[in-house]
A and B are shown apart, each in its own frame.
Chain A
Amino acid sequence: MATGRNLFATTNARVVGAFFVAAVLHLAGTVLIPGYSSPFAVRAMLVLASLLAVASIGQTLVVIMGGIDLSIPFVIGFANVVAAQLYGDGWNFFLVCGLVGVLALVIGGLNGLISRSLDIQPLIVTLGIGMVVQGLVLLWTAGFPSGSAPQAVSNFVSIGGSAGPLPVPWLVPSLVVLAALVVLVLERTPYGRRLYALGSNPGAAPLALIDPVRMWVITYAASAFFAAVAGVLLLGFTGSAYGDVGQPYLFQTIAAVVVGGAALVGGRGSYLGTIAGVLVLTEINTLLIGLGFQPSAVQAALGFIIVLLVSLYGRERHVSTTI
């Protein structure tokens, strides 16, 4: 059967294709917009891309498993506000991070537990849980969150920052290390291989000694955890707490994962692909804003380009080839 071999080839081709598109976009920007490749602009893009890449880790894992996580923006906002508020109240920042991380794990674990054990569409469950989380945060802060991030976090993500000899803030090299770890976990650990297997054929998974509920709990917990990390990093980036700070990440994480070659039906995708998708999205955004488009027009163009890109290399198979 030739279709299977093509599938294998296209999975890698999709990742390469996405990196290629990002490079082309960057080239186009450099030609069209003066200063597009200036050190500051590149640094800004790298920081923005890194933040999105952190928020997309969870979405990548969840999508490979055959799920989807709509609670990511809400958890980002939750971590953002709670961390700022508690730190503002004089808590030790490490304690704050620990607490936020644990709460995020619980939220995510709940998402996975409810979705899998009752076999409910994760779309609805993660949306509902996300709304509850956001509501609780709003209630706690009465809608007006206060507080800020420690200087160290701001420096960690600051566009003007530097990491030793590197002209980028520590966020960027840290992300490279984190990305390598995520890739390693997916490719070379039993958890990673089980994740792909479960997404590839949920019916066969239990017979291959994979516990679906356990996998869903772990993976959704990880997703929420990385969303919380993104939330705290965003606090350092913007300087003050804002409950809706995560909202743009709802569709952006999904778009990044899909542009990077993952299939939302599960079993296919890679974090390297997601990184490529993140770069593509960041380039498009920067390019369009640089060309003087209004935010509404940027959004429309973004939608158009996502569809265009995915139709170039992200097409599904026809039903006749799946029989």
Chain B
Amino acid sequence: MTLAARLLSLGRSVGFAVVLLVILLAVNLILSPGRFQPGSWGALVGLAAPLIGAAIASTPVILAGRGGIDISVGPLMGFVNAFAIQVLFLGAGISSPLVLVPATLLVGALVGAANGFLATVVRIQPIVATLGTYLILTGVTLTILPAPIGPAPAWLKALSGPLSLLPLAAMFIAWWLVRRTPYYDQLMAVGSDDRAAYTAGVDVTRVRFIAYVMTGIFSGCAGLMLTALIGSADPNIGPTYTLIAIAAVALGGVSLAGGRGGVAGAAIGAIDIFLLQSVLTTFNVSTFVLQIAYGAILVLAVMLTALQERFAMRGR
């Protein structure tokens, strides 16, 4: 694929998400100029950061195809949150980012490796394997942290506003580096047709395993962003991110069948969802209406994406 063709296909797959982004941004600016004035952009980015992180984290395993999905992303974020504050910061008194950051990323990598082991070596269907880790992580988190507790180290809290761009940028750079390796091509090949990739000599198991580890590391990072945002540890928030993150990924043009899309699309999908929540909040409607609109727009958005794709196929 040439670069132009690749850009074209990227535009086609995330096209709708970008259009939605522009519309939602405009609506937000009109409805609540105060909330969206340039001065508060930093705070807004901070609010959106954990969801964007969760969406990016969910992407690699989905790209790897054959039902690849990690529903333990949310609980892993919650576990990282509890582990960093309750165990490391409050328990062991460690506050240095030089320890906390590597430790949480390592936790993420280990959980990702466990998921990868179950899904690719033991070969349990990914949704079941990660459902297992989902339940284990939620249970363990509630065991080590039965109730919310605070605070977070000052440097971590400082990452909540405009500075939340730092971890996000780190994730993007990491993915950008991955894209420059041969591994990326193998990942996309395995995602679109694992039989063909296998016949072509790609170690399908290894490629998928690494995707799970990447998802784990990214989830660890997203867990840190969540910790920064709430400035404390809360065992109940993490799991709520899972399904929304997957919805964001789908919205961002990443095919849940694998092999198509990327983290940029996933991030745009996440921003869409965040802006949507923001629009609905400004109407000051009850949370019930919020939920209705939210579900309806989610379905409509994937429907429109599908229709647009169909149209693009026909136009070819």
Contact = CB atoms under 8 A, between A and B. Distances in A.
Interface string A300-314: 111110110011001
A171 to B, nearest CB: 27
A129 B137 CA distance: 28
Contacts of A214: none
A127 B303 contact: no
A132 interface: yes
B73 to A, nearest CB: 14
A123 B291 CA distance: 17
Contact of A132 (B124, B142, B247, B299): B299
B294 to A, nearest CB: 6
B299 A114 contact: yes
Interface residues of A, number: 55
B162 interface: no
Contact of B132 (A68, A298, A306, A323): A306
Interface stretch (B18-26, B86-94, B192-200, B209-217): B192-200
Nearest to A70: B243
A1 interface: no
A130 B135 CA distance: 22
Interface in B135-171: 135-143, 146
B246 interface: yes
A279 interface: no
Contacts of B246: 123-124
Contacts of A296: 138-143, 146
Interface in A278-323: 294-304, 306-307, 310-311, 314-320, 322-323
B217 to A, nearest CB: 21
Contact of B124 (A68, A124, A315): A315
Interface string B240-256: 00010011001000001
B279 interface: no
A120 B306 contact: yes
B135 A302 contact: yes
Name the residue among B128, B195, B205 with the largest chain A CB count within 10 angstroms.
B128
Contacts of B141: 296
A143 interface: yes
B132 A303 contact: yes
Nearest to A137: B288
B136 A300 contact: yes
Contact of A314 (B124, B199, B204): B124
Interface string B291-316: 11111101100110011001000000
A119 B298 contact: no
A299 B134 CA distance: 9
A52 B124 CA distance: 23
A131 B195 contact: no
Contacts of B66: 319
Contacts of A318: 123, 205
B303 A255 contact: no
B158 to A, nearest CB: 32
A316 B122 CA distance: 8
Contacts of B140: 296, 300
A319 B143 contact: no
A265 to B, nearest CB: 6
Interface in A93-152: 114, 118-121, 123-125, 127-136, 138-139, 142-143
A294 B295 CA distance: 33
Contact of A138 (B125, B132, B250, B288): B288
A323 B199 contact: yes
Given A300-B139, A311-B118, A319-B195, A251 B131 contact: yes
A311 B138 CA distance: 21
B128 A124 contact: no
A132 to B, nearest CB: 4
A259 B134 CA distance: 16
B210 to A, nearest CB: 16
Interface in B228-285: 243, 246-247, 250, 256-257
Given A124-B246, A323-B195, A311 B299 contact: no
B186 interface: no
A254 interface: yes
A314 B303 CA distance: 34
B181 interface: no
B128 A264 contact: yes
B299 A254 contact: no
A236 B67 CA distance: 38
Nearest to B293: A135
Contact of B123 (A70, A120, A131, A315): A315
A235 interface: no
Contacts of A123: 69, 246, 250, 256
A263 interface: yes
B132 A307 contact: yes
A157 interface: no
Nearest to A310: B124
A255 B250 contact: no
Contacts of B303: 114, 118, 120
Given A299-B135, A315-B124, A124 B247 contact: yes
Interface string B76-105: 000000000000000000000000000000
Nearest to A293: B139
B143 A135 contact: no
B286 interface: yes
14 contacts: A114-B303, A120-B306, A121-B302, A124-B250, A124-B299, A125-B299, A127-B298, A129-B299, A131-B291, A135-B295, A299-B138, A306-B135, A307-B118, A323-B199
The 3 A-B pairs at the shortest CB distance, nearest first, are namely A300-B139, A303-B135, A131-B295
